[in-house]
């Protein structure tokens, strides 16, 4: 009897918090564990999310998606994505809470296997506080990969940071005298920071509608249509 020379299929190791992996190894293990809803590779290290709290994460997250989704509805040519995996570089594959990208002629594309590849123009993260990875390792990764605007909602600090890439560094944008922050990349994307932090979604959307009615937003839409 001749012994079989066929090797048994290799067992894919489980994905564990703190694993140091390449992006290919990370994807293979992540795909083999469909029960895991959120895992990220940041600077070659695996980070796995804790259970999501209702008021401290899920609610703020829903407000951000509503705000960005409303902008998308009025701006043909841009796309809002919720918890999409983003292939940034060989050591980084984050899964940001939300993102906004230009579909044609922007910095990112959608791969054949349906992942975002490249840096979206705008990324949003819901963070616990200033101690979060979102304001340290991720901020550096997003800056290095040319994410143009990075928004971080720090829940426990009751603060919202909006960073704009300028000369290779992130500069924090401040509210104007009316409490509004204006996107420098997406004209008409206006945010009433105080209303957001107070949980007043109606007022947030009211401020956004003013931005959508601006001439700069109308010009941006025309620009996108031409592309």
- Given a cut of 90, is residue 170 above it in pLDDT? yes
CA torsion 167→79→71→197, rounded to 10°? -70
Q: Torsion over CA of 209, 214, 219 and 221, rounded to 10 degrees?
A: 0
Does domain 53-226 fall under CATH 3.40.50.300? My reply is: no
Whether the pTM exceeds 0.85: the reply is yes
In the prediction, which pLDDT does 55 show?
A: 83
> Among the listed ranges 55-64, 131-140, 167-176, 203-212, which one has the minimum average pLDDT value?
131-140
Domain assignments of the chain as residue spans, ordered by start: 53-226
Average pLDDT of every residue of the chain: 92
- What pLDDT does residue 19 have? 87
pLDDT class for 49, splitting at 50, 70, 90? confident
């Amino acid at each position: 009897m001749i012994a079989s020379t066929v090797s048994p299929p290799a067992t894919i190791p489980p994905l564990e918090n703190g694993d140091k992996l390449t992006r290919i190894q990370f994807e293979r293990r992540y795909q083999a564990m469909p029960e895991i809803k959120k895992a990220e590779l940041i600077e070659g290290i695996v980070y796995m999310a804790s259970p999501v709290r209702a008021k401290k994460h899920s609610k703020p997250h829903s407000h951000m998606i509503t705000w960005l989704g409303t902008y998308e509805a009025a701006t043909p040519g841009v796309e809002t994505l919720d918890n999409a995996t983003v292939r940034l570089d060989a050591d980084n594959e984050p899964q940001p809470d939300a993102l906004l990208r230009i579909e044609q002629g922007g910095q990112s594309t959608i791969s054949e296997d349906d992942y975002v590849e490249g840096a979206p123009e705008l990324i949003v993260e819901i963070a616990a506080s200033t101690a979060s990875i979102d304001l340290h390792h991720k901020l550096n990764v997003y800056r290095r990969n040319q994410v143009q605007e990075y928004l971080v909602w720090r829940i426990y600090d009751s603060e919202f940071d909006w960073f704009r890439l300028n000369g290779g560094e992130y500069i924090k944008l401040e509210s104007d005298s009316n409490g509004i922050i204006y996107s420098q990349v997406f004209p008409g994307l206006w945010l009433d920071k105080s209303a957001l932090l107070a949980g007043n979604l109606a007022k947030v959307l009211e401020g956004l509608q003013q931005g959508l009615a601006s001439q700069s937003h109308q010009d941006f839409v025309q620009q996108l249509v031409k592309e």
